[in-house]
Chain A
């Protein structure tokens, strides 16, 4: 199973709502990532988790709150978003993070398309 599963596929939320995006993998990968992709732009790295600990936060606003409850699951909690936060949110996983793993690819999910109204 080389699949990264993201739910939901589509989400519409108001600016006062709280919602969560979910990402799951069962490949035994210990590095997991959140990316944000605006229309016609490349994916931008948001967060990196390594062994369930947050290792990189790319200066993401606090209205985005990541969580890694276990090695298979990654969540992105959303609160008080703005319309400009509407985007495709991509999750990825990799066997590990660090020098030993530079020869390993990352697997991406199909994304959650988020619309903030």
Chain B
């Protein structure tokens, strides 16, 4: 599995966009980038995933750089309920979801 690196923590003002970066400079061509989040004491929740193209769903947008060495998860209008640990995971052929330390996002009122 490609190793991903994320900042340990970030703050975001409520109502503003939260932009969470992920570095995956050793990602291989077959590996998808997945994002999950975990709200305190709950199970991880799937957010979005992508391979090369930018993706958007009802929760978030995923921007992947052209060289695929990094990506950004965007929560367009963060709310207090978005406070969580966000995990960026690279998953390829036959690989499993291996979690790194993630980014602890605090949405502030």
User: CB within 8 Å of B: which residues of A?
Assistant: 4, 33, 41-45, 48, 56, 88, 90, 92, 97-99, 102-103, 105-111, 113
Number of A-B contacts (CB under 8 A): 60
Given contacts A4-B43, A106-B46, A108-B44, 8 further A-B contacts (CB under 8 A): A44-B99, A45-B96, A90-B44, A102-B30, A103-B32, A107-B46, A108-B43, A110-B42
User: Which residue among A33, A43, A45, A113 has the maximum number of chain B CB atoms within 10 Å of its CB?
Assistant: A43
- Which of A43, A98, A113 meets B94, CB within 8 Å? A98
User: CB within 8 Å of A: which residues of B?
Assistant: 30-32, 34, 36, 41-46, 49, 51, 85, 87, 91-102
Give me 17 A-to-B residue pairs in the complex whose CB atoms sit less than 8 angstroms apart, sorted by A's number. Answer: A33-B97, A42-B85, A42-B100, A45-B97, A88-B41, A92-B43, A97-B94, A99-B30, A102-B30, A102-B91, A102-B95, A103-B32, A103-B49, A108-B43, A108-B44, A108-B45, A111-B42
Given contacts A42-B102, A107-B46, contact A92 B41 (CB under 8 A): no
Summarize B's interface: helix, strand, loop or mixed. loop
Whole-angstrom distance between the Cβ of A111 and the nearest chain B Cβ:
5
Whole-angstrom distance between the Cβ of B90 and the nearest chain A Cβ:
10
Report yes or no: B98 in contact with A99, Cβ–Cβ below 8 A. no
Once bound together, how far apart are the Cα atoms of A111 and B46, in whole Å? 15
Q: Which residues in B have their C-beta under 8 angstroms from that of A33?
A: 96-97
| Closest 9 A/B residue pairs (Cβ) | A42-B99, A108-B43, A99-B93, A105-B46, A108-B44, A110-B43, A43-B99, A98-B94, A109-B43
Report yes or no: B102 in contact with A48, Cβ–Cβ below 8 A. no
